[in-house]
A and B are shown apart, each in its own frame.
Chain A
Amino acid sequence: SAVISQKPSRDICQRGTSLTIQCQVDSQVTMMFWYRQQPGQSLTLIATANQGSEATYESGFVIDKFPISRPNLTFSTLTVSNMSPEDSSIYLCSVVSQGQFFGPGTRLTVL
């Protein structure tokens, strides 16, 4: 399976600021996704990160709030913009490589 790393692993941010999360994969993958897991909840797909084109967002998520970049087949970023306490969550990068696998997650707390 692919090895996935995320940075930062955790952060505490002030309301109104933005945070960019990086996801790096050790091999080229076609399918890359960003998920959110709020406390005590299951995983919710935010968007599919498409290489060379705009991300595909799920219902309830918009580009202005969660801009995504995918400059190549091994890297993607997710930005959480204009944060509020409701954005406190774990953000997970995921790839498909002989199965679907997850990065270690970024634990975000917004004060």
Chain B
Amino acid sequence: RKEVEQDPGPFNVPEGATVAFNCTYSNSASQSFFWYRQDCRKEPKLLMSVYSSGNEDGRFTAQLNRASQYISLLIRDSKLSDSATYLCAVFGNAGNMLTFGGGTRLMVKP
């Protein structure tokens, strides 16, 4: 089993749709959780941290479910510019480091 796992997608959604991604992690002792966005041929950029109480930033909502060991990212009112690969990252899942999931590709279409 992969340590941090994501559905690779692609998720093809129309503009304005709501889309959600999940990311599961294997180590219940993992400490911190993040979502990154990576555009084609660019470096990953930190999108948001995921707090135990959940957090929201505009159209983006991130949640943590420790009991089931997953984090989620919800995007409301999808824009064409949201098309990218979304990577989850877990700190402490395998040692004192960030472990990345394989990424979920989102394509928002007109």
Contacts and interface: CB of A to CB of B under 8 A. Distances in A.
Interface of A: 1, 33, 41-43, 45, 48, 92, 99-105, 107
Bin chain B's interface residue count.
10 to 19
B43 interface: yes
Nearest to A102: B43
Interface in B63-110: 87, 89, 97-103
A99 B47 CA distance: 11
B85 to A, nearest CB: 9
Interface string B26-59: 0000000010000001111110010000000000
Interface of B: 34, 41-46, 49, 87, 89, 97-103
Given A43-B44, A104-B43, A105-B43, 4 more contacts: A42-B101, A102-B43, A102-B44, A105-B42
B102 A42 contact: yes
Contacts of B46: 1, 99-101
Given A42-B103, A43-B44, A105-B43, A100 B98 contact: yes
Closest 8 CB pairs of A and B: A102-B43, A42-B102, A43-B100, A42-B100, A105-B43, A99-B46, A104-B43, A102-B44
Which of B41, B43, B98, B99 neighbours the largest number of chain A CB atoms within 10 Å of its CB? B43
6 contacts: A42-B100, A45-B98, A100-B98, A105-B42, A105-B43, A107-B41
A42 B43 CA distance: 11
B79 to A, nearest CB: 23
A97 B79 CA distance: 30
A42 B87 contact: yes
A13 to B, nearest CB: 19
Given A41-B102, A42-B102, A48-B97, A99 B49 contact: yes
A45 B100 CA distance: 9
Contacts of A48: 97
Contacts of A33: 97
